[in-house]
Amino acid sequence: MIDVVDLVKHYRASDGGIVRAVDGVSLSVSPGEMVGLLGANGAGKTTTLRVLATLLKPTSGSATVAGHDVATDPVGVRRALGYVSATTGVPDRLAPREILATYGSMHGFDGSALRERIDVLLDVLGLAGVADRPCGRLSSGQRQRVSLGRALVHDPPALVLDEPTSALDVVGSRDLMAFLERLRAEGRAILVSTHRLHEIERRCDRFVIIDAGRIVAQGTREQLGAGREGGLEDAFFAAIGPGAVP
Amino acid sequence: MNDVPPVPGRWQAVRAIARRDLLEFVRDRRTLFVTLLMPMAMYPVLALSSLLSVRSALDDPGAARPPARLVLAVSGADALPLVARVRSLPDTVTSGAGWPEQLEIEAVAFDAADRMRREGSVDAWIEAPRGTITGLDATGTVSLEVQLPDVEEVGSRARDHVTAVLRGLADDARRRRMGAAGLPESVLEPVAFAFSGGAAAPGGLSLRGVVPIAAGAVLVLLALLMATGAFYPAIDAIAGEKERGTIETLLMAPCSPGDLVLGKFLAVLAVTLATLAANVVSIALTMTVLLRFMPAHAALGLDAGTVAAAAAVALPAFVGLAAVAAAMSLAVTAASKSVKEAQNTLTPVILLVSGLAGAALLPGLGSSPWVAAVPFTGQVAVTRSVLFEADDPSRRRVGPADEDGRDGSLPLVPLAITLVSSALVSWLLLRATALVVTDEEILFRGPDAVTSGWSRPMPRARPTAWQGFGAALAGFAALWYVQGIAPADLARAILVQQAVAILLPLALLAWWQRVDARTTFALRWPAPDAARGLVATGAAALAGGGLFFLGAAALLAVRGTGMSPEAEALSRRLFGFMRDTPPWQAALLVSVVPALVEETFFRGWILTAFAGRSSPPGRRAFANVAQAALFALFHMLPERMPQTFALGLLLGWLTIRSRSLFPAVVGHAVHNAMPLALVAWAGDAAFDAELVSPLSAALPTEIVAAAAVAFAVGLGAFLGATAETAGSPRPR
């Protein structure tokens, strides 16, 4: 469903130098699979996800979502992908219902079908009670759920989430991850980035560890953490090298 | 879960974005304040101050107020005969200036008169002691005491009317005394005269000289408020979204950047149009109040028909202006990384466009229909031209043909020009916005690192688009100021102009930003090998030289020999300089120096800044058009602008294709050297006629044909020589 092959994304630094934000990343996520993208700050996680979300153009390599190439068919990718950014990305002055209606309309829903879709989402996400309250007056957890609803309003088969729990408390994080498991069970392909390893350790099917724009390890929890007492965290630090160990 | 979501129509996404943004705008108090409340407060304040000014300008007390009823009480021994005398005054007296509309005069007792004055039931009380009538008929002077109410307004009005009544009484007494002395009344009237023709005397102050200025000021204010109306929504729509982190999710909308920008444009336009509506309502209401309190005899010189005609033209013209204001604000904010940066950039831009709007009030400017094509100037000029003749603002344009010399027609052609121009400018700005809004650097790199005001920013490979714009702006300002200090001697003037207007701002900016000179000024050989590089450079020379003659031929074909006095003076000066200066010196100053300096500035700094790094072809084309337009504007004279624009386009294209500045420098130098060749060819014949006979008539066909061939061959050879450079990956 999500296929990234030898993806390269270089930036030009303001002093004229080259920043290799993503340097040959290849990964894939199948339907009904949740993959965790792990890495320290600046490792290239967000850049990879932004390329998948068609917000950045790849320097080279390819990335496809449901068969749509991010470089040649960005609109097709956007129709097949739900994207939750690191910031919740919900406007303060709009209510959840209005936000879902906007994005639902953009994706071609209208009339009773749109209203029905919004009601279902609000109900599933536990936002029915605050559906008409401006987002500026919602809690971080509620805002994150609105953001997730926005990403799901067009019922995409693939979902990409960039550090979705960074602003949430423990309860909020647990609820969100539980909801993601439910989405996976529906058959969606989910790629989620985070550096809060404990949250996803037991929920993701596979993990991809990225450092300085390159994949340094990938596999299931067992494959990465087998024989290590510290589990995923030890595997992570082992993969990114001794210099990164705090 | 559906694998295939419904396919949205293009307009469905555009509508959804517009509706979403509009909802956000109307929930923002700043937007509501600027859109609705500011116009509602602004015009009444202005009207009030205008009203007070008009009232204070009415320095003739008799003319200052409309005639009103006057109630006079007369007491004293001669009260009755005095009242009878006043009542019997002839019509010639009672129709004079300041005479009350209705006079009620009664003889009453002293106490009653005093009481009536204090109660305010009379406007004035005159005490007429014994001997008053006798005194009037004798030869002395009768003193009368007039007591007025203590209320200032009543007292002031009554003073004017009582003065008129007593002057009438004095005139009547004068005639009686003349009759008693046996002298005819004509002794007092040595000259008699009467007016014929002309409009009816307004009997008060004419504001005809003031109204054109006031109407123009209102139109400029309207343009400014509309630009201000687009200010907050536009900043909120893009820079605000970036700052709040909502732009990422919005860019995930299943539509093109162009559609996204169009949706946002429609929302900002809706707010700007609401600003227009609020302004129009406020102006209409203010006018109603103003006319009610304006002195009745203060002639505005405008009638309802003229105002209606102005409104019929102003509304579509200002709808066009709203579109330009909305698109301009979006373009500026799209290039900003934060709300603060957008505010700091858009504020001076709005001040600049206010200057454009104000330029419409310059005397004589409105007479050219092409002024209508200039954004902000055109809309104001076209609307104003409905009210007043461009060449004589004191004359109204629209109205019955038998009055005031009006032609009675609406300026439909200028209106059409301004509407087409507004649509075109808006479209170009929206295209630019769509190119910039997805610029990765502006989207995701965040605001530049915080620096103190005096420390230089981090070095860059090439200038930013804003630094390109800033260089042009600084150059324009320097070009203007240098006119005041440039020496009379043309050789020195050229050097001073090039140094102060171009080299100085360029050097300061380059020093400040520490750009990479090789990247910014495209200091590369134009082709992979020396031979092809030489061919490319020679081809550029051919194209540049050919373009000079083609441009001159086109100019002569379009404009004939007609030249503005400024262009004629410059041509005379330039040709005189070329004739009287040694050829090497003339070539250096007319050809080599401008080519080196201007290419470094326009095709080096500005084009590189606008085009950015490895930009898409659309943005490169836009950058080329923009720098060519600035290059044309730099040459100031309208006659020269089409040719300099074409030259700018050619030189920009040469630079973009070859990624080298050298062909442009050579092409420019050869282009500028062509007048020298012309002088060498024509000799003194060039200066025999009134101006320059070979140029002012028509170019010989063989020269035009040779120029066309040179131009075509030059372009072809350049395409061939640079094929490899153009096809290789762009330098990073």
A156 contacts chain B (CB < 8 A): yes
pLDDT at res. B252: 85
How large is the angle between the packed helices B339-359 and B377-387, nearest 10 degrees? 40
Q: Map residue A209 onto helix, strand or coil.
A: strand
Report the percentage of chain B scoring pLDDT > 90. 16
- Are B307 and B216 part of one and the same domain? yes
User: What average pLDDT score do residues B511-519 get?
Assistant: 85
User: What average pLDDT score do residues B632-642 get?
Assistant: 78
Query: Which of B249, B251, B451 is the best substitution to test chain A (most A C-beta atoms within 10 A)?
Result: B249
pLDDT of B552 > 70? The answer is yes
Q: Do B249 and A89 touch (CB under 8 A)?
A: yes
pLDDT at res. B656: 92
Residue B489 lies in a domain: no
d(CA B715, CA B546): 10
Residue B561 lies in a domain: yes
Considering only CA atoms, which of B300, B310, B291 is closest in space to residue B222?
Answer: B310
d(CA A124, CA B520): 55
- Show which of B440, B461, B489 is a domain's final residue: B440
pLDDT at res. B196: 60
- Are B86 and B17 part of one and the same domain? no
- Are B238 and B122 part of one and the same domain? no
Question: How far is B598 from chain A, CA to nearest CA, in Å?
Answer: 25
Q: Tell me the chain B residues in contact with residue A99 when contact means C-beta distances shorter than 8 Å.
A: 20
Residue B449 lies in a domain: no
Tell me how far apart the terminal alpha carbons of chain B are, to the nearest angstrom.
44
Query: Exposed/middle/buried for B694, CB within 10 Å: 0-12, 13-18, 19+?
Result: middle
pLDDT at res. B685: 56
pLDDT at res. B603: 95
User: What average pLDDT score do residues B561-589 get?
Assistant: 76
d(CA A242, CA B597): 55
pLDDT at res. B60: 47
* Cβ partners under 8 Å of residue B430, min gap 6: B258, B261, B262, B265, B327, B330, B331
User: What average pLDDT score do residues B672-696 get?
Assistant: 62
pLDDT at res. B100: 83
What chain A holds in terms of domains, given with CATH numbers, is 2-91+155-241 (3.40.50.300)
pLDDT of B342 > 80? The answer is yes
* Alpha carbon B634 to chain centroid, angstroms: 19
Q: Do B245 and A88 touch (CB under 8 A)?
A: yes
User: What average pLDDT score do residues B188-211 get?
Assistant: 58
Q: In Å, what is the CA distance from B162 to each residue of B70, B120, B296?
A: 8, 16, 21
B19 contacts chain A (CB < 8 A): yes
Q: Which of A50, A57, A106 sits opposite B253 (nearest CB)?
A: A106
pLDDT at res. B624: 92
pLDDT of B390 > 70? The answer is no
pLDDT of B598 > 90? The answer is yes
Q: Tell me the chain B residues in contact with residue A98 when contact means C-beta distances shorter than 8 Å.
A: 20, 23
Q: Tell me the chain A residues in contact with residue B28 when contact means C-beta distances shorter than 8 Å.
A: 93
- Are B49 and B70 part of one and the same domain? no
Task: Give the mean pLDDT of chain A.
Answer: 84
> Hey, what amino acid is at A238?
A
> Which of these ranges, A174-178, B310-314, B357-361, has the smallest mean pLDDT?
B310-314
The two tokens of residue B497 are 């102009």
The DSSP symbol for B591 reads I
pLDDT of B204 > 50? The answer is no
pLDDT at res. B391: 47
Nearest CA in chain B to A77: B254
- Are B181 and B218 part of one and the same domain? no
Instruction: Tell me how many degrees the CA angle B300-B303-B306 measures, rounded to the nearest 5.
Output: 115
Q: Do A98 and B23 touch (CB under 8 A)?
A: yes
Query: Which of B22, B252, B518 is the best substitution to test chain A (most A C-beta atoms within 10 A)?
Result: B252
CB B374 within 8 A of CB B421: yes
Residue B245 lies in a domain: yes
Most confident range, picked from A107-111, B58-62, B126-130: B126-130
Residue B261 lies in a domain: yes
pLDDT of B396 > 60? The answer is no
User: Which ipTM value was assigned to this complex?
Assistant: 0.88
- Are B131 and B235 part of one and the same domain? no
Q: Tell me the chain B residues in contact with residue A187 when contact means C-beta distances shorter than 8 Å.
A: 1
Q: Do A85 and B249 touch (CB under 8 A)?
A: yes
User: What average pLDDT score do residues B534-548 get?
Assistant: 92
CATH code (residue B163): 3.40.190.10
d(CA A126, CA A149): 10
- Are B568 and B592 part of one and the same domain? yes
- Are B587 and B706 part of one and the same domain? yes
Residue B213 lies in a domain: yes
Nearest CA in chain B to A148: B249
Residues in chain A: 246
User: What average pLDDT score do residues A172-201 get?
Assistant: 84
| A-proximal residues of B, 264-323, CB under 8 Å | none
Nearest CA in chain B to A50: B248
Q: Which domain holds residue B41?
A: 10-58+205-440
Q: Which residue has the higher pLDDT, B283 or B664?
A: B664
Tell me how far apart the terminal alpha carbons of chain A are, to the nearest angstrom.
36
pLDDT at res. B410: 64
Nearest CA in chain B to A79: B254
* Cβ count within 10 A of residue A161: 25
User: What average pLDDT score do residues B45-69 get?
Assistant: 63
pLDDT of B355 > 90? The answer is no
pLDDT at res. B713: 93
Query: Exposed/middle/buried for A31, CB within 10 Å: 0-12, 13-18, 19+?
Result: middle
Looking at B181-303, list the stretches that DSSP marks H as alpha helix, in order from N- to C-terminal side.
Answer: 211-234, 241-244, 247-250, 257-293
Q: Which of B254, B443, B458 sits opposite A75 (nearest CB)?
A: B254
Tens digit of pLDDT for each residue in B267-294? 999 999 998 888 888 888 887 777 766 6
CB B204 within 8 A of CB B295: yes
Q: Tell me the chain B residues in contact with residue A83 when contact means C-beta distances shorter than 8 Å.
A: 248-249, 252
pLDDT at res. B709: 93
- Are B95 and B230 part of one and the same domain? no
B111 contacts chain A (CB < 8 A): no
Which band of pLDDT confidence, cut at 50, 70 and 90, is reported for residue B684?
low
Helix, strand, coil share of chain A (percent; to 5): 40, 25, 35
Q: Which residue has the higher pLDDT, A175 or B652?
A: B652
- Are B99 and B37 part of one and the same domain? no
How many domains are contained in chain B?
3
Own/partner pairs for B156-160, CB < 8 Å, 24+ apart? Answer: B156/B61, B157/B65, B157/B68, B157/B123, B158/B70, B158/B123, B158/B124, B159/B61, B159/B124, B160/B61, B160/B62, B160/B65, B160/B98
pLDDT at res. B13: 85
Which band of pLDDT confidence, cut at 50, 70 and 90, is reported for residue B62?
very low
- Are B211 and B288 part of one and the same domain? yes
B460 contacts chain A (CB < 8 A): yes
pLDDT of B458 > 90? The answer is no
pLDDT of B592 > 70? The answer is yes
Question: How far is B275 from chain A, CA to nearest CA, in Å?
Answer: 21
* Cβ partners under 8 Å of residue B397, min gap 6: B385, B386, B387, B388, B389, B406, B407, B411
* Cβ count within 10 A of residue B357: 26
Q: Which of A83, A94, A106 sits opposite B23 (nearest CB)?
A: A94
Q: Tell me the chain B residues in contact with residue A102 when contact means C-beta distances shorter than 8 Å.
A: 16-17, 19-20
A106 contacts chain B (CB < 8 A): yes
Residues in chain B: 732
The DSSP symbol for A219 reads E
User: What average pLDDT score do residues A66-80 get?
Assistant: 89
User: What average pLDDT score do residues B99-105 get?
Assistant: 85
Q: Do A14 and B459 touch (CB under 8 A)?
A: yes
d(CA B312, CA A72): 48
Q: Do B17 and A107 touch (CB under 8 A)?
A: no
> Which of these ranges, A168-177, B440-449, B503-512, B695-704, has the smallest mean pLDDT?
B440-449
User: What average pLDDT score do residues A114-132 get?
Assistant: 87
| B-proximal residues of A, 25-64, CB under 8 Å | 50, 53-57
Question: How far is A234 from chain B, CA to nearest CA, in Å?
Answer: 32
Question: How far is A235 from chain B, CA to nearest CA, in Å?
Answer: 31
> Hey, what amino acid is at A224?
L
Considering only CA atoms, which of A87, A22, A14, A103 is closest in space to residue A61?
Answer: A22
Rounded to the nearest 10 degrees, how much is the dihedral formed by the CA atoms of B462, B466, B468, B474?
-130
- Show which of B398, B421, B440 is a domain's final residue: B440
Q: Do B459 and A91 touch (CB under 8 A)?
A: no
CB B311 within 8 A of CB B405: no
Which band of pLDDT confidence, cut at 50, 70 and 90, is reported for residue B690?
very low
Most confident range, picked from A3-17, A36-50, B37-51, B440-454: A36-50
Q: Do A93 and B28 touch (CB under 8 A)?
A: yes
Which band of pLDDT confidence, cut at 50, 70 and 90, is reported for residue B327?
very high
* Beta pairing partners, A158: A81, A189
pLDDT at res. B267: 94
Pairing mode, if any, of strands B124-127 and B102-107?
unpaired
pLDDT at res. A113: 86
Q: Which of B6, B20, B253 sits opposite A109 (nearest CB)?
A: B6
Which band of pLDDT confidence, cut at 50, 70 and 90, is reported for residue B341?
confident
User: What average pLDDT score do residues B146-154 get?
Assistant: 68
User: What average pLDDT score do residues B194-205 get?
Assistant: 52
CB B605 within 8 A of CB B468: yes
pLDDT at res. B6: 57
- Are B67 and B54 part of one and the same domain? no
Residue B538 lies in a domain: yes
- Show which of B185, B217, B232 is a domain's final residue: B185
Residue B551 lies in a domain: yes
pLDDT of B453 > 70? The answer is no
d(CA B202, CA B723): 77
Q: Tell me the chain B residues in contact with residue A80 when contact means C-beta distances shorter than 8 Å.
A: 5
Instruction: Tell me how many degrees the CA angle B663-B665-B666 measures, rounded to the nearest 5.
Output: 65
pLDDT at res. A228: 62
Task: Give the mean pLDDT of chain B.
Answer: 79
pLDDT at res. B404: 45
* Beta pairing partners, A3: A28, A64
A87 contacts chain B (CB < 8 A): yes
